[in-house]
Amino acid sequence: MVSLALTSALEIAVAVSASILNFAPPSPTAAPPRLKLNGYSLVPSSTEEVTSFYGQWAYLPGAPSLVQGTQRFDVVDPRTKNSVGDFDALVSRGNGYNYTALLVTANDGTDVGTAAGQVPPVGSLIATFGFGPVGWAYSDMPSPSGNVISLALVTPFGNMPLRSTFDGAKGIADHTVDDRPIRLTNGYSIAPADPLGETITATSGVLPLWTSVQGHQVFAVYDPTGTQVGSFEGVFTTTSDVLGTYTQAILVTADDEGDVGTGAGQIPPVGSVFNAVYAGADTDYVLYSSLPSSTGDVVTVEQVNSGSVQTSPRTFIDASEPPSTRPLSVSHGLTLVPVTPLRPSGINGLPPREVQYQGYQQFDVYDATGARIGSVDATVFTQHDLFGIRSEAVLVTDVTDGVAGTGRSDVPPVGSVFNVMLLGDSRFGTVQSVMPTPSRDVKTFAFATPLGNIPVFHARKRVPDRIDVSFFDPFVNV
């Protein structure tokens, strides 16, 4: 419990530091840096489709202000400027800091390998992080003889190879990254119904320090003899880091309408959350679970050490607590009012310390006079922790009603981002926003109070190299 409090305090310190260092991030439509692999350029050959993101206040293992999407890339010979092949990838890039990572999901099948000029295999991770003129480049690519890991310090005078043993891509290519059974302490276990049936939807983290793999699939519940007793659909995230800690979180999104409930052997209800944090071995872990119930959510925190189980009298948070539906006061006197429930697309965090949701939601927009001026679709990030700190970030993906603009009577344009952090129910906190125009980002920062927001920062920053991105929106076909 002392360790939990210390790591929580550390995460708050990290979040505060990240928020200060990345005080006014740009709109996600600002151009990201280019990547190289073994001296060859990785050049985008399609429009990036943004699918999800992490807000500015995300705790690790999420990554603050990280934009996630999908895109296609050419592998370009720097001498001839010709493409030698192409591949599809999941993209994660820092919004306001120079980090980009790719997870290869498909390629053209020609000259695939780990050598210079070859197309990276499916399951490869490629990342770069820059601090001005210096930084590092990391790659981890599967091969028949084992994953090929490379790390180099990038300088204006050339790259300097560094030693790294962190295998961030372990298990991705062979589908084992998410197949570890979560062993419940009642004799039952949860594991994929089809070991090859996962769909990986995103990656996050900062390589080569830590990484997360996100996706969705059908999970089965197995009894102590290994017999399947039911199944459910869920989103999952697995994480690993350089310290040897690894985790797996699952959020139940649909069940098979069988014997659903909170008892042993029953199928967990929609909204249930499981999280296992392993300390270097599958036999030593902290197991968190929260299961919705009409008589009160059933929340349990257990420590498992080689079969010995200790149940904590404290559960700290209820990860199955529905996301807030309260109006969200943002910049320019605007208020976003949810008109649909959050449609979950991802889960992260380390309950019982905190829980993070990603998803999609629709909002009505009201101006400072209380008049409705339009509506938007958005991808959303929410988080709450054991200290009661709550954060919510909204990325506008479509303006469905009203006139888009950056004025006080305008609906926020596509690409706008709002980050709101509140200290419990006190209504004190911070509000940060960025709204794009064709040539500039309009940025604001304010302190939230029970009497309204107090503006402290406003700027219009020129964006010379805005990129054309699209935004995934599940509501457009509804």
pLDDT tens, position by position, 431-463: 999 999 988 999 999 999 998 899 999 999 998
Mean pLDDT on 327-341 = 94
Residue 227 amino acid letter: T
Beta bridge partners of residue 360, listed in sequence order: 343, 379
With contact defined as beta carbons under 8 Å apart, do 273 and 287 qualify? Answer: no
Query: Amino acid letter at 167?
Result: D
- Asked if 337 and 325 count as a contact pair (C-beta separation under 8 A), the reply is no
User: Residue 17 to residues 20, 21, 59, 149: CA-CA distances in angstroms?
Assistant: 5, 6, 11, 30
Q: Is the pLDDT of residue 429 over 60?
A: yes
Q: Kindly state the average pLDDT of the residues 178-197.
A: 95
The whole-number pLDDT of residue 5 equals 56
Is 60 exceeded by the pLDDT of residue 1?
no
Amino acid at 344: P
Percent of the chain with pLDDT over 90: 82
Q: Rg of the chain over CA atoms, in angstroms?
A: 22
Q: How high is the pLDDT of residue 213?
A: 97
Tokens of 8: 């929580």
* The pLDDT of residue 2 is above 60: no
pLDDT band at 426 (very low <50, low <70, confident <90, very high): confident
Query: Any idea how long the chain is?
Result: 478
As a whole number of angstroms, the distance between CA 354 and CA 390 comes to 10
Q: Average pLDDT over the chain, rounded to whole?
A: 93
Predicted confidence (pLDDT) at residue 171 exceeds the cutoff of 60: yes
Predicted local confidence at residue 279, as pLDDT: 87
Per-residue pLDDT at 178? 94
Q: Which residue has the tokens 């600002």?
A: 30
